[in-house]
Amino acid sequence: MAANPDRERLLAVASEVLDGVSGRFVAGHGAPRSVDKGRNDFATDLDLELERRISGELAERTGIAVHGEEFGGPSASSGTVWLLDPIDGTVNYSAGLPTAGILLSLVEDGEPVLGLTWMPLIGHRFSAVVDGPLLFNGEPRKRLEPQRLEDHMIAVGSFDVDSRGRVPGRTRLSVITELSRRVARLRMHGSTGIDLAYTASGALGGAVVFGHHPWDNAAGVALVRAAGGIATDFEGRPWRIGSGSVLAAAPGIHDEISDILRSVRTESRSEGESQ
């Protein structure tokens, strides 16, 4: 498929903007909790500072509005909008762990068309226009080939077994239990962006994301698709803004994890009916 010059230009501009704030991201590592957002969720002053700075520069240089995790913005389900998470993995970042990054995507009518995941603390930068290729630190990577689940590590989202959210804790536990019987290893990094970026690179075979926030998911979905992977919700529908979950994986592995998710959903429904 031919390259889209406008998207390539926007990717270059976005990369420059994220490079420009990377030093500040590193300098602020360990920033304390400052804004309570709910149970076990918070932001730091640096989240707010970076979102203001990145959003301002992007809007000025591209003329496209930004929807950020901290300050919101225009709807991402229609039109063209940047989606920004200034610090993905804030709990990790505040605690002094390196598993945190900046997530940025461009969304057109609900579909992510380019994505960037910057990890300044370890010097890893993933970017792509959705048609590919995946770029790692500016260099193209090979496309993902069909793989087997048993040969790979799979990342899973964190969970509270007693939670009653969109994907209840007990259901999450069932998914993790069944996956553990089939995979080489399970990994829980506490950063959706990192899980999806390393799925795109092939370091992970796949990522099971229980969360639905678009600023967490859109950039990684674009990266996975650019790399030749598959990104859907748990029901197998192509991921887009409004999807309630993400299953992203290399070809082959995606089908195997889909079967596990289908089995868990069937079992959960049966248990509900019998009660």
Residue 253 is predicted with a pLDDT of 98
Sheet-wide strand order for 153-156? 185-187, 153-156, 206-209, 246-249, 230-232
Where are the alpha helices (H) located in 3-149, listed in sequence order? 5-27, 45-62, 90-95
pLDDT in tens, the chain (275 residues): 456 779 999 999 999 999 999 999 999 999 988 877 666 678 899 999 999 999 999 999 999 999 999 999 999 999 999 999 999 999 999 999 999 999 999 999 999 999 999 999 999 999 999 999 999 999 999 999 999 999 999 999 987 888 877 888 888 999 999 999 999 999 999 999 999 999 999 999 999 999 999 999 999 999 999 999 999 999 999 999 999 999 999 999 999 999 999 999 877 665 654 33
Q: Phi then psi for 54, rounded to 5 degrees?
A: -65, -45
Q: What is the rounded distance in angstroms from the CA atom of residue 206 to the CA atom of residue 253?
A: 7
Residue closest to 253 by CA, chosen among 168, 183, 201 = 183
Question: What integer pLDDT is reported at residue 166 of this predicted model?
Answer: 82
Distance of CA 118 to the CA centre of its chain: 12
Of 205, 161, 199, 157, which Cα lies nearest the Cα of 185?
A: 205
Alpha-carbon gap, residue 34 to 4, rounded angstroms: 41
Amino acid 274: pLDDT:
39
Q: How far is CA 217 from the centre of its chain?
A: 4
Helix axes 253-274, 169-180, angle to 10 degrees: 130
Query: What are φ and ψ of residue 152, in 5° steps?
Result: -130, 160
pLDDT of residue 42: 81
pLDDT score for 6? 94
Residue 187 in contact with residue 272, Cβ under 8 Å? no
Question: How far apart, in Å, are the Cα atoms of 101 and each of 12, 104, 228?
Answer: 18, 10, 23
Q: What is the pLDDT of residues 184-223, one digit of tens each?
A: 999 999 999 999 999 999 999 999 999 999 999 999 999 9
| Contact between 210 and 179 (Cβ < 8 Å) | no
